């Protein structure tokens, strides 16, 4: 597992989806305004007026969930300080 966040493209896709769902509900409120009687018209208009603000807030809301961490109690390793450089080399497999 990694502690890296979600990819930017996945994050953008999810925000667009939330925004489109909210705007779809807003369109439904406008259509409901044409159909419903009495004070429901006011409720539909108020919902249609307030939903864009919620849509933007939801679309810009970032993922606040902590990243999934693999935790193996049998293999506890202390963290290295940021000043430590671990040297190594990359070996490529040429069999494939």
8 pLDDT more than 60: yes
How far, CA to CA in Å, does 29 sit from each of 36, 42, 51, 72, 74?
Answer: 10, 10, 9, 51, 56
Question: Which residues of 1-92 form beta strands (DSSP E)?
Answer: none
Q: Confirm whether pTM is higher than 0.75.
A: no
Pseudo-torsion of CA 59, 64, 65, 69, nearest 10°? Answer: 120
Segment 23-49, tens digit of pLDDT: 899 899 999 999 999 999 999 999 988
Segment 51-80, tens digit of pLDDT: 888 777 777 776 555 555 555 554 666 777
Q: Domain-by-domain residue ranges, the chain?
A: 8-60
First-to-last C-alpha distance (Å) of the chain: 26
Q: Which two tokens stand for residue 92?
A: 């490529």
For residue 14, name the pLDDT band (cuts at 50, 70, 90). confident
């Amino acid at each position: 597992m990694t502690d890296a966040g979600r990819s930017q493209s996945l994050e953008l896709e999810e925000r667009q989806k939330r925004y489109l769902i909210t705007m779809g509900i807003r369109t439904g409120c406008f259509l409901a305004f044409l159909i419903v009687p009495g004070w429901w018209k006011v409720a539909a208009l108020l919902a249609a007026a307030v939903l864009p603000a919620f849509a933007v807030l939801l679309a810009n809301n970032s993922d606040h969930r902590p990243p999934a961490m693999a935790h193996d109690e049998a293999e506890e390793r202390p963290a290295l300080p940021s000043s430590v450089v671990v040297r190594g080399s990359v070996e490529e497999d040429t069999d494939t």
